[in-house]
Amino acid sequence: MLHDALKKLNTVPFHMPGHKRNAAFGIAGAQIDITEIEGFDNLHNPHGLIAQLEATLAEIYRAEKSFLSVGGSTLGMLCAISAVCEKGDTVIVARNCHKSVYNACLLRELKIVFAEPEFDETHGIYKSLHQSTIERALQKYPQAKAVILTSPTYEGYVSEIRADIPLIIDAAHGAHFGLADYPAYPQGSIVVSSLHKTLPALTQTAVINVYDSRYISEVKFWLDILETSSPSYVLMNSVSMCCEFVRTHPEAFENHYVLLKQFRTLSLSHLKLLKTDDISKIVISTAGTAISAKALGSILRDTYRIEPEMEGISHIVLMSTVGDTQAELNLLREALGEIDASLESDAVSKITAPPPCEGSFTIKREKHAQITPFSAAQGQICNEFIYAYPPDIPIILPGEVFTDSVCDYLHTLVKNGITVISDSGMFPNNVLTKSE
């Protein structure tokens, strides 16, 4: 495996990178940070160690072909959509897709038909996308060339969708699916997962699993265009080690699953431990309590040194993986119990997501736009992406109108301390709108 070979590096490096694996610079990981030297293969033309690594990924995910990505699932989705769709095609897109999906739609000038997943108005969370929703869209738009969705979601909701046209699934948060008693790995034409999110691998590592052999060469074509020509061996080493761990330590995932089941016996009087399809996503609701999700996150961070994954309006997400110990899960359990005991009940407020626009929609962005005060944006056409981070789901796209519901939703996010990012960086004071 690649990680074994990297341990044996012993040549004098008269090649890139410039740190020359010299320990004097104190750069973590530099000892295995090399370029495509003899014997270490080439990610863009793999025939040796990297080809072996991609074959191992295909074996783990039972794919026709697996491609290693050092650009995360973002790169994977850009390549998958570009591989399947021609310029100007119509695609059915779940409204809760990551911004990378919409970036691909922008680059390929695709006509988007939105499919609206179920929405939890208590917590402001998109849940599962129903098969009936997709079937209605396919009946109305028979010219659609692909269905694109997110499963599992950030909070762990799974959508089991079937379609007679190519199905592209952003399973960024599902790299661990198919292991232990987790849900089965998603079934689609191309499924993309971030190894680094839920498995022991470094940030930026992902896998593009191709199940329809018709798209193998096209995915490779777009990878060669969009992925760096200088892929990091430090990142690829971590994927090699990750694959080895997955193959040789199935009991680690089984044991962790048992720990998570034990954790979910936690009894709370005010906070709620929400049940989603993924037991490893610990989603805590503050709805109906006198504390906000932001405040709960701050208490966990400041009092217990526990860092949540994200804080929404009335829920927080904590991610647990095989990298967690029983002691750490016990600490979280005790912390939540102590906080819960100090809380009082309060009224529950509804959170309503803005409805997607009807019909087919093409993302349109002008190079020259006007700066508009957000307070005066209502009725104007947006000229930038505006999204909550995390999970990077766009709230409004270039070419969409700032409707009452969009403005109200953005106000709600800002009021609750949610990080909202715009391309221009001027939100919440100003936004970019289409010039008159």
Tens-place pLDDT, residues 3-33: 999 999 999 999 999 999 999 999 999 999 9
Q: DSSP readout, 128-148?
A: PPPHHHHHHHHHH-TT--EEE
Read off the pLDDT of residues 399-420 as tens digits, 9 standing for 90 and up.
999 999 999 999 999 999 999 9
Q: Looking at the structure, tell me whether residues 299 and 376 fall in a common domain.
A: no
CA dihedral for 297, 301, 303, 304, sign (positive or negative): positive
Helices and strands counted in the chain (H then E): 12, 19
Position 303 in a domain: yes
CATH number at residue 91: 3.40.640.10
Domain that holds residue 388: 364-434
Please report, for the domain that includes residue 261, its CATH number.
3.90.1150.10
- Checking if the pLDDT of 327 tops 90, the result is yes
Residue 108 lies in a domain: yes
Instruction: Identify whether 353 is part of a domain.
Output: no
The residues, ordered by sequence, that sit 6+ positions from 253 with a Cβ below 8 Å of its Cβ are 176, 179, 180, 182, 246, 322
Q: How confident is the model at residue 341 (pLDDT cuts 50, 70, 90)?
A: very high
pLDDT of residue 217: 98
Distances (CA, A) of 315 to 65, 255, 302, 422: 38, 27, 18, 23
Return the pLDDT at 357: 87
Q: Is residue 227 part of a domain?
A: yes
**Residues present in the chain in total:** 436
Neighbour-count burial of 31, counting CB atoms closer than 10 A to its CB (0-12 exposed, 13-18 middle, 19+ buried): middle
What integer pLDDT is reported at residue 26 of this predicted model? 98
Residues 188 and 263 in one domain: no
Boundary residue ending a domain (192, 218, 248): 248
Tell me, yes or no, whether 199 and 221 share the same domain: yes
Instruction: Supply the pLDDT for residue 435.
Output: 82
Query: Once rounded to an integer, what is the mean pLDDT over residues 78-92?
Result: 98
Q: In terms of domains, do 180 and 280 share one? A: no
151 and 170 both lie in a single domain: yes
Kindly tell me if the per-residue pLDDT of 338 is higher than 80: yes
Percent of the chain with pLDDT over 90: 98
Q: How far apart are CA 138 and CA 141, in angstroms?
A: 5
Same-domain pairing of 231 and 315: no
Beta-strand pair 420-422/386-388: antiparallel
Domain boundary among 248, 269, 298: 248
CA distances from 81 to 17, 74, 77, 92, 143 (A): 33, 11, 6, 12, 16
Residue 346 lies in a domain: no
Same domain, 208 and 88: yes
pLDDT tens track for 195-247: 999 999 999 999 999 999 999 999 999 999 999 999 999 999 999 999 999 99
Mean pLDDT of 112-140: 97
Question: Does the residue 73 lie in any domain?
Answer: yes
pTM of the model: 0.97
With 90 as the cut, is the pLDDT of residue 294 above it?
A: yes
Looking at the structure, tell me whether residues 371 and 408 fall in a common domain: yes
Q: Taking residues 287-312, report their average pLDDT.
A: 97
Q: Are residues 161 and 44 in the same domain?
A: yes
Q: Smallest Cα–Cα separation from 30: which of 239, 243, 232?
A: 232
The yes-or-no verdict on residue 436 having pLDDT over 90 is no
Assign residue 407 the CATH number of its domain. Answer: 3.90.105.10
398 has a pLDDT exceeding 90: yes
User: What are the residues whose beta carbons fall under 8 Å from the beta carbon of 39, sequence distance 6 or more?
Assistant: 5, 48, 49
The answer to whether residue 352 is domain-embedded is: no
Mean pLDDT of 135-150: 98
User: For residue 176, how many other CB atoms are within 10 A of its CB?
Assistant: 24
What is the domain count for the chain?
A: 3
Question: Can you read off the two tokens belonging to residue 332?
Answer: 């979280």
Query: Which of 202, 220, 248 lies at the terminal end of a domain, its last residue?
Result: 248
- Is 39 found in the same domain as 100? yes
CA–CA distance, 359 with 114 (Å, rounded to integer): 8
Tokens 């798209």 sit on residue: 215
Q: Are 288 and 343 in contact (CB under 8 A)?
A: no
Burial classification of residue 213, based on how many CB atoms lie within 10 Å of its CB (0-12 exposed, 13-18 middle, 19 or more buried): exposed
Residue 357 belongs to some domain of the structure: no
Pair (322, 179) in one structural domain: no
- The tens digit of pLDDT for each residue in 40-62 reads 999 999 999 999 999 999 999 99
Is residue 134's pLDDT more than 80? yes
Domain match, 332 and 235 both: no
